[in-house]
Structure 1
């Protein structure tokens, strides 16, 4: 049997009752390799496999480009929301990442709160940002 979720979201991290899945796509139409700009979109699904609601309140990303420069991004919620994810449900969103190099990587974590206000730190799986072979820097 084919695992459709693994095909759709090849990058997966499970932390307790939280599963985070990520799919990434290079966007050639928003990239300008000649101008030193490459752009990716990433689709994230946060699943609540537990038995109580969880609210996603904070995100933290580490973005590393091909030259080893690291960028830390931290902020409230995701895409302007602090979603409440009910048991057995998920929250999906899409965002993007520009780089000045043809490849890099991203990883991070979410801070969620349970119904008692306790912190849960859920890992975001590491994933690569890779441009098409013709556009990869030598």
Structure 2
């Protein structure tokens, strides 16, 4: 399954895997609008449950402009992930450039209520047009 994902990182037994997908039908390059979805899988390889409480994203467009997004949970949920379990979700990101990248972290708590941060690995957002220019 790991081969499906483009990026992954493990922090304290929690693995985050990411697969971005360019959304041609939601993009309008002639108006300076490009859109992506991204599939995230969060796997708990630890011996006790963990809960995702917060998210922090750093989104950088092709001009180097950074935007930070912080909030509770992911797509309206604060999932508890049991040992050996996983939580999948899909979200999206628009940019004003044909490429960029994202990275961040999740704020988690362990079974004892201890807070810790889990790395969301950096991943590229690259439109087909930007990919052609790079080759």
- Give 5+ residue unaligned stretches, structure 2: none
3-state SS of 1:51 partner: coil
Choose the corresponding residue for 1:47, options 40, 43, 50: 43
Which whole-Å deviations, capped at 9, do the CAs of 1:57-87 have from their partners, x for residues lacking one? 0000000001110000000000000000000
The 5-angstrom pairing of residues 1-138 of structure 1 reads 5-133=1-129
Q: Which moved more, 1:101-110 or 1:126-135?
A: 126-135
| 8 A Cα contact 1:107 1:127, kept in partner | yes
**Over aligned residues, Cα RMSD in angstroms?**
1.6
How many residues are paired up? 134
Return closer, same or farther for 1:134/1:13 CA change in 2, 3 Å cut-off. Answer: closer
| 8 A Cα contact 2:99 2:130, kept in partner | no
- Give 5+ residue unaligned stretches, structure 1: none
| 8 A Cα contact 1:102 1:135, kept in partner | no
Which whole-Å deviations, capped at 9, do the CAs of 1:7-33 have from their partners, x for residues lacking one? 211200011210000000001000000
TM-score with structure 1 setting the length: 0.93
CA distance in 2: counterparts of 1:71 and 1:116, whole angstroms: 33
Which whole-Å deviations, capped at 9, do the CAs of 1:35-78 have from their partners, x for residues lacking one? 10000000000000001110000000000001110000000000
| 8 A Cα contact 2:98 2:129, kept in partner | no
